[in-house]
A = this chain, B = another copy of it.
């Protein structure tokens, strides 16, 4: 559409977007801890991808923001339990995800699952998936998008569904802003183009691009309780699923989540790459 030369001009005009210069390290003008009244959308590949941001999501929910989680696949493949079927696994993953969101204070109806098969996301028709995500962006009209950041190293051999999810989310964010793309949504469904202005990208071990760390001190327990809901994805439940755990098992799960919490400046944090501006330049 437009090369950067014109983007740069735009920054003069589009001061609503913050007038940020390109190339500089960005941070939110208002600290994430102060956000309120925002609509927040998270796009992940699997139930539990949002766990990387559970503390932050719990805080945002508590502070009067609306949080929506959109998951691309049903998670109907990832088990080592020889007795679970795809159907059962998809149902379990949904229940666990809604239970986890419940711990964060997020309503079950704010969980949207697009129903693709687990492990095969890259083989879906990409135009159709992007169109689907664009529809949800135009419906929810989020102020902030949380999504996978491929990261410098990680992207290269990125787990297939995560790699797909990271690109699909970015491509959808870009497409959603153009009235003339996926125009059937505009002319037939009453939706309007929409540009997401702010982004929080997360990653699981390639953290060199992080520029923003959210203090989740007050939301540790919510994060731990939420993480402990993913029984089918953890130790005992992964190899042999059961809907509830014994006390020691539950404690072990919670300890596991707790042990993964990162510390920065003596505070428990979740880290993100924050970006604000035109979606076309997300990757700068």
Contacts and interface: CB of A to CB of B under 8 A. Distances in A.
A122 B171 contact: yes
A125 B128 contact: yes
Contacts of A5: 48, 51-52, 204, 227, 257, 260
Contacts of A79: 180
A180 to B, nearest CB: 5
Nearest to A23: B205
Nearest to A80: B179
Contacts of A88: 85
Contacts of A187: 74, 76, 87, 90-91, 94, 115
Contacts of A151: 156
A46 B283 contact: no
Interface in A80-98: 82, 85-91, 94
A182 B145 CA distance: 28
A208 to B, nearest CB: 10
A89 B85 CA distance: 11
A158 B283 contact: yes
A256 interface: yes
A23 B208 CA distance: 12
Contacts of A204: 3-5, 7
Given A2-B48, A12-B256, A157-B283, 19 more contacts: A1-B75, A4-B205, A5-B204, A5-B227, A7-B204, A22-B205, A76-B187, A86-B86, A87-B187, A89-B180, A94-B187, A117-B184, A119-B181, A120-B181, A125-B128, A149-B156, A155-B283, A158-B283, A160-B175
16 contacts: A5-B257, A22-B205, A77-B181, A86-B86, A87-B183, A87-B186, A90-B187, A94-B187, A113-B184, A113-B189, A122-B171, A149-B157, A151-B156, A152-B152, A159-B280, A159-B281
Interface of A: 1-10, 12-13, 22-23, 44, 46, 48-49, 51-52, 74-79, 82, 85-91, 94, 113-120, 122-123, 125-128, 130, 149-161, 166, 170-171, 174-175, 178-189, 204-206, 227, 230, 233-235, 238-239, 253, 256-257, 260, 280-284
